[in-house]
Structure 1
Amino acid sequence: MTATSDKSTVLPGHLLIGNERLTSASGGSFDHVNPSTGRAQRSLPLAGLAEIDRAVDIARAALPAWSRWNPVERRRVLQRFAELIRAESENLAVIASLEMGAPITQSPFLVDWGADWIEEAAGWADRLHGDVSPLSSRNVHEYTSVEPIGVVAALPSWNASVGAFGMTIAAPLAAGCTVVAKPSELAPFAALRIGEIALQAGVPAGVLNVVTAGIEASEALVSHPGVDKITFTGGPSTARRIAEVAAQALTPAVFELGGKSASLIFADADIDRALSMATMVAMNAGQACTLGTRILVHESRRDEFMEKLVAAVSSIPIGDPFAEGIAMGPVISEKAVDRITGMVERSRTYGEVITGGERCGGELADGFFLSPAVVALPSNYVELARDEVFGPVLGVQTFVDEEEAVTIANDSDFGLAGYLFTSDISTAHRVAGALDTGNVGVNGGWAPAGPQMGFGGRKQSGYGIQGGLRGTLEFVSFKSVQIAL
């Protein structure tokens, strides 16, 4: 196995508050574990209540000047920010692979995707405007103005590293807000480095602050009276806790949460296209909320599809992210290994594990590597059909007609994404309209719309939009003005 520990010198070891680089903090410290080796690779300070207060105060102090920046200049500095992220792609890709285990061949995509979110949001910075009321008369002039909502607490997910961070901070910055970002301790390093790149790009100190924190300090951030809005990407259980805490101050939030996305394969589908989408379970070792891990295949194509699926999944190259030819790395932690293997093992009581679902041995035994699993499910009312696994596990069910397929797909607590494969354009439009999800991919289309179109879910997959004009408007407030003439 390629030694990854000697690459850890690229990992930053400090928090960023304004212009301060904190190598120690009142919350103590923690050792980040490399998921590929199972060994600690870098120690980081944890913000305590004092640092959270400091970060919010700094962000609030920076808000008046940043909100009054000429929007054209704000656009230019954010575009420069995106350019510098791309210029440091090689270094950031290494960081992403070290912190979350993504194969080094995939990590540059995450970097570029993160820059895309910032670049797209930058384009809206000088295009936000209000309206003049049609009711204005010779005696009263009425209009609306657009203002930044204020200080934003941003809590990105860990599973897309640079991409997830860019997705979370871009719109608030473009809208003229200041940000206190708290990346997960599972993958904090890319966010910390991007905070430094923002300063290099000319983003004023205090506009983007990046801290790691434990549960107590994180709750202090989302409940802080100096925070005007929250944006969180993660699981529903954490979102509920954030909502409870934020409710005390009536702080609004954008929640991009989990998914249990169905992939509908109709009798006239191109099986190879559907297979390519299914094997994307290797991406981030299945740790992506929009993956179509709940496969519904027409009964007439079930045997053909299952044979090809098992062969393809069983041949996915698994290993050290820096080794040549690797398509799938580890899951994020020992806790994730236990959760995922536990769900697969329990599925043996109601379904059939066709392949995979086991911890890898040999030279991979110390890391958090799992073989991707395919499980035949008897119905939509078992754990693997209902609960998000967030790992490399595919559950396969059958259906007899379109009505049943849509009914099964929509019978879920989640509503993030859906996929369908058919050769009939009428079926495509009809089913896309019937799926109760925020995003739909057809015949290989990737459902996470954005950053241009906007991305969001329904039901327990969250509320609010990320990306596009709608995502930027999440972080502004509209003021009505009436002038007597």
Structure 2
Amino acid sequence: MTIDAEQHRRLAEQLLTDAHLVIGDSRTSSASGGSHRHVNPTTGREQADVPLAGPSEIDDAVASAREAFQIWRRWRPDERRDALLRLAALVLRDGPTIGSVLTLEAGVPSAVAGGLPRRAADYLSYYAGYADKLEGSVIPIFPENAFDYTTLEPLGVIGIISTWNGGISSIARKAGAALAVGNTVVVKPMELAPFSVIRFAELAIEAGLPPGVVNVVPGAADAGEALCGHPGVNKISFTGGLETARAILAVAARNITPVVLELGGKSGNIIFPDADLAAAGQFSGSVCMSMAGQGCVYPTRLIVHEDVHDEILERVVAVAAALPFGDPLASTTVVGPVISEGHRDRIMGMIDRARSDASGQIVLGGERGSGELADGFFIRPTIIDGVASDAYIAQEEVFGPVLSVMTFSDEEEAIALANDTPYGLAGYVHTNDLRRAHRVAGALDAGYVSLNSFAALPASAPFGGFGLSGVGKEGGRQGLLEFVRTKNIYLGMG
């Protein structure tokens, strides 16, 4: 596939020229953290300057959020509801533009990027509906001349640190829940993908949210440390990698700041012999390669029964090899670039290690993009067969278009292989035996299990993993309750 570098340049000039910090009602295109020269992952060319917040801008943003909190928390719940519904409508209105921004900044294929604003609007609308429906409770008490009840209160300022692959959808899931119950937010997007998040903040102002309710401060690690260690921040919500999460926990511990962590995964995808093998093969060769494998829930370990291994492997290789690979602006592209040169090199290093360690046989891919794709950060869909469960490539999250294949002989072994990882985000089971499907789903150490399918979770579903995949939940009522505190009030009446 050819890359239309000129089209990328023109779109970047239209959509990425005004990167700035949003702090209260101020906009600034320069900051104490310097600047980041943003590189288009498709072309490998620089396309915009991003101002980076330093600790001083974090201080300003938290102060702005704390001031706005005293206003926003006192809005009537129905007023907050209506404001979030207006924000959802604006996200939908600007959906095509936001989708193009996601493609330019993070290489998200346009077929996927175009749907992310809709998901963002779904989260905002869902949580808007909860704004006037949170209720406390009356506690049964003895003696009868007393009254005891609970109320749910907003926490205050929520620090949100986002990664590149979720964009505006991830921010809406976090911020929508926090805002609905009366909190304010300070969002630090990665410098690699800040543009769609900046647009979210601008749309929040247009929707009528008071200045300071949504603040956006792109920044590097020093800004993240300042945010997580700030005494004015009441909770941290983070999506990203394990090592960054460990650093966040260490800094947040200084003030005993609670955290929600949505981290990585190494999800097992079990195929039993009685499954619909055509459907299972299509699923297994395509889902893990979407967005160049940059999805935390993707089924990156294929655990297939030995009796159907050869057939499934043939199907999976054929599916993955046929996936449209190249320019994410093309409407048919499924596998685009990874986010950065450094990330591409890390993934290739893991593939090379698997090759040198004889950790299975590379039966597809294992190469960077070539020809017109050579300047971008492309890796061809890669499948490694015969991988041992304890191999590095099978234990560590790749976050790229790489699938490890292993076999099992019985149900007990399949479950053991699926659970043989420190992660616990997702699991997948393919079988036509519903008893087995639910039995295996119950045995998997994963926060989300999908049976014979894969679909984006609705806004009403809780999402979050076990083990090294994170702490807490996002989405659904459980995601909302992450951002409230429970107060008990006792009244003695004589």
8 Å CA contact 2:387, 2:404 repeated in 1: no
Note if 1:5 corresponds to 2:9. yes
8 Å CA contact 2:291, 2:334 repeated in 1: no
8 Å CA contact 1:52, 1:220 repeated in 2: yes
1:217-261 C-alpha deviation (Å, 9 max, x unpaired): 210111000000000001111100000000010000000000000
- Alignment-mate amino acid for residue 488 of structure 2: S
Partner of 1:140: 146
In 2, Cα distance between equivalents of 1:324 and 1:206 = 37
Aligned-residue offset at 1:450: 4.1
SS at match of 1:405: helix
Moved more, 339-348 or 131-140: 131-140
**Which residues in structure 2 correspond to 1:148-167 (within 5 Å)?**
148-167=154-173
Partner of 1:274: 280
In 1, Cα distance between equivalents of 2:30 and 2:175 = 25
Q: Give unpaired runs (5+ residues) of structure 1.
A: none
1:11-31 C-alpha deviation (Å, 9 max, x unpaired): 231110011111111111111
Length, aligned pairs only: 484
8 Å CA contact 1:420, 1:441 repeated in 2: yes
1:396 to 376, 396, 405: 405
Note if 1:242 corresponds to 2:264. no
In 2, Cα distance between equivalents of 1:372 and 1:378 = 16
8 Å CA contact 1:157, 1:165 repeated in 2: no
- Alignment-mate amino acid for residue 426 of structure 1: R
1:472 to 462, 468, 480: 480
Partner of 1:432: 441
Q: Pick closer, same or farther for the CA change 1:345–1:63 going to 2, 3 Å.
A: same
Note if 1:359 corresponds to 2:365. no
1:282-326 C-alpha deviation (Å, 9 max, x unpaired): 321100000001000001110001111111111111111113422
In 2, Cα distance between equivalents of 1:286 and 1:214 = 24
Moved more, 201-210 or 101-110: 101-110
Note if 1:37 corresponds to 2:37. no
8 Å CA contact 1:130, 1:145 repeated in 2: yes
- Alignment-mate amino acid for residue 24 of structure 2: G
1:51-74 C-alpha deviation (Å, 9 max, x unpaired): 110000000001111111111111
8 Å CA contact 1:438, 1:456 repeated in 2: yes
In 2, Cα distance between equivalents of 1:377 and 1:119 = 46
Q: Pick closer, same or farther for the CA change 1:250–1:324 going to 2, 3 Å.
A: closer
**Which residues in structure 2 correspond to 1:322-471 (within 5 Å)?**
322-348=329-355, 349-446=358-455, 449-471=457-479
Identical-pair percentage: 47
Moved more, 154-163 or 389-398: 154-163
RMSD, matched Cα? 1.1
Note if 1:68 corresponds to 2:70. no
SS at match of 2:488: strand
- Alignment-mate amino acid for residue 101 of structure 1: G
Partner of 1:113: 119
Aligned-residue offset at 1:112: 1.0
Partner of 1:168: 174
- TM-score (normalizing by structure 2): 0.96
Aligned-residue offset at 1:80: 1.1
Partner of 1:303: 310
In 2, Cα distance between equivalents of 1:220 and 1:89 = 32
- Alignment-mate amino acid for residue 445 of structure 2: D
Note if 1:253 corresponds to 2:259. yes
SS at match of 1:129: coil
1:145-171 C-alpha deviation (Å, 9 max, x unpaired): 111011000012211212122122111
Aligned-residue offset at 1:137: 4.8
In 1, Cα distance between equivalents of 2:52 and 2:407 = 48
In 2, Cα distance between equivalents of 1:99 and 1:24 = 19
8 Å CA contact 1:274, 1:443 repeated in 2: yes
8 Å CA contact 1:136, 1:142 repeated in 2: no
Aligned-residue offset at 1:136: 5.9
Partner of 2:206: 200
In 2, Cα distance between equivalents of 1:390 and 1:266 = 26
8 Å CA contact 2:190, 2:218 repeated in 1: yes
**Which residues in structure 2 correspond to 1:228-239 (within 5 Å)?**
228-239=234-245
Aligned-residue offset at 1:413: 0.3
Note if 1:284 corresponds to 2:291. yes
- Alignment-mate amino acid for residue 5 of structure 1: R
Moved more, 335-344 or 393-402: 335-344
8 Å CA contact 1:232, 1:256 repeated in 2: yes
In 2, Cα distance between equivalents of 1:113 and 1:32 = 26
8 Å CA contact 1:294, 1:385 repeated in 2: yes
Aligned-residue offset at 1:105: 1.9
Moved more, 370-379 or 55-64: 370-379
- Alignment-mate amino acid for residue 116 of structure 1: D
- Alignment-mate amino acid for residue 11 of structure 2: K
